[in-house]
Amino acid sequence: MGDARAKALLLSLPRSRGRAGVGATSVATEALLQAQVLQARLQPRIPERARDTHARLVRAPATLRAMEAQPRRLGGLLLLLLVALATWALWSGALRVPERWNPWAPLRIDAAPNLLTRFKLDRAASDRDACRAALAQAALDATPLEDRVTGDGCGFDNAFRIARTSVAVGEPFALSCRSALALAMWERHALQQAATTHLGSPVARIEHFGSYACRNLYGREGGRRSRHATADAFDIAGFVLEDGRRVRVLGDWAAGDDASTPEAAFLRAVRDGACDWFDVVLGPDYNDAHADHFHVARGGGRLCR
């Protein structure tokens, strides 16, 4: 087929040129024609060879893909192995890193928080003895309460009666160990900084509406139990500063986004800081039921408003 096309080309070209009036074929034109004939002969073979190679490639895509994927899979396995090895080395103590960068080192309430602190807090909170050991670092006046069920979905499990935290609290209240630990972290790393930054005086006393109550959410007849039912929640109404000033959620929050007064800015910093250590923090921004207090709790999902 290639030869036939080449011959047709050879026969047609001089005639067409003759008709165009070029005259006798020169030596140069002869050479050009021969080159064209050679090219025409070769042309069909090149695509055939290319088609052949392409067909072979198409026939073996799965094999090629598998060969390509193998190093990637090996790399992934190696990475997993390294992570597992590092985890084991940290956990077993074979690898020594500074305590603040070791996720399995116990929580230190006084240590400056970093990326691992929340993980350490959650770990301590989920274990009875670890929670008590961590809470022992806090300047608390706390008496352990006997574990007991006080009603359907109500009661104490690893809870304390707290008469004083790092500040005065007025009426003593019951609080689960995990929530008491969050409270200690909040006072140490958010409350006092917010007070000195915005009001120029540390907090001396927390004013509260209590913690434990065997009731449903919002005191409704039906529905879920409140975190108050298990002493996991605490309602904070305001603060008394060392210089004697009093800041109340009800009067000093300032509705909307108007945080122009130092008291309103302080209350917002206190609320935002609580979100780092508690799971649920609700205040006046959430609804009218929280217009006069911050509800802070551990457990029951994450919500901060």
Tokens of 254: 């300032």
Residue 195 CA to residue 201 CA, distance in Å, equals 6
The H-or-E segment that residue 237 falls in is strand 233-241
Task: Name the residue nearer to Zn ion (CB basis): 273 or 283.
Answer: 283
CB-based contact 210:235 (threshold 8 Å): yes
Which residues are bridge partners to 304 per DSSP? 281
Per-residue tokens: 112: 């400056």
235 near Zn ion (CB under 5 A): yes
Note the Cα 93 to chain centre separation in Å.
Answer: 27
6 or 191: CB nearest Zn ion: 191
The piece of 119-127, 145-153, 177-185, 293-301 that touches Zn ion (CB under 5 A) is: 293-301
User: For tokens 């890193």, what's the residue?
Assistant: 97
d(C-alpha 41, C-alpha 48), whole Å = 13
Of 117, 228, 249, the closest CA to residue 182 belongs to 117
| Cα 105 to chain centroid, rounded | 21
Choose between 264 and 282: whose C-beta lies nearer to Zn ion.
Answer: 282
Binding-site member from 188, 268, 295, 298 for Zn ion (CB under 5 A): 295
- Residue 94 or 218 with smaller CB distance to Zn ion: 218
CB of 233 to Zn ion, least distance (A): 5
Any idea which residue has 């790399």 for tokens? 75
Distance CA 264, CA 247 (A): 9
Total binding residues for Zn ion by CB under 5 A?
3
Tell me how far, at minimum, the Cβ of 285 lies from Zn ion, in Å.
15
Q: How far is the CB of 202 from Zn ion (least distance, A)?
A: 25
Q: Which is nearer to Zn ion, 191 or 233 (CB)?
A: 233
| CB half-sphere exposure, 260, CA atoms < 13 A | 2
Nearer to Zn ion, 218 or 244 (CB): 218
What is residue 208's DSSP assignment? E
Contact segment (CB under 5 A) with Zn ion among 7-15, 24-32, 128-136, 232-240 equals 232-240
State the Cα–Cα distance between residues 282 and 233, nearest whole angstrom. 11
Quick check: 189 binds Zn ion (CB under 5 A)?
A: no
CB nearer to Zn ion: pick between 135 and 282? 282
The CB-of-232 to Zn ion minimum distance in angstroms stands at: 10
Stretch that binds Zn ion, among 19-27, 136-144, 186-194, 234-242 (CB under 5 A): 234-242
Tell the smallest beta-carbon distance from residue 210 to Zn ion (Å): 9
Q: Which residue is nearest to Zn ion (CB)?
A: 295
Output the smallest distance, CB 142 to Zn ion, in A: 20
CB of 296 to Zn ion, least distance (A): 8
Q: Can residue 290 be called a binding residue for Zn ion (CB under 5 A)?
A: no
Specify the 3-state DSSP secondary structure of 175: strand
Query: Which residues lie near Zn ion (CB under 5 A)?
Result: 233, 235, 295
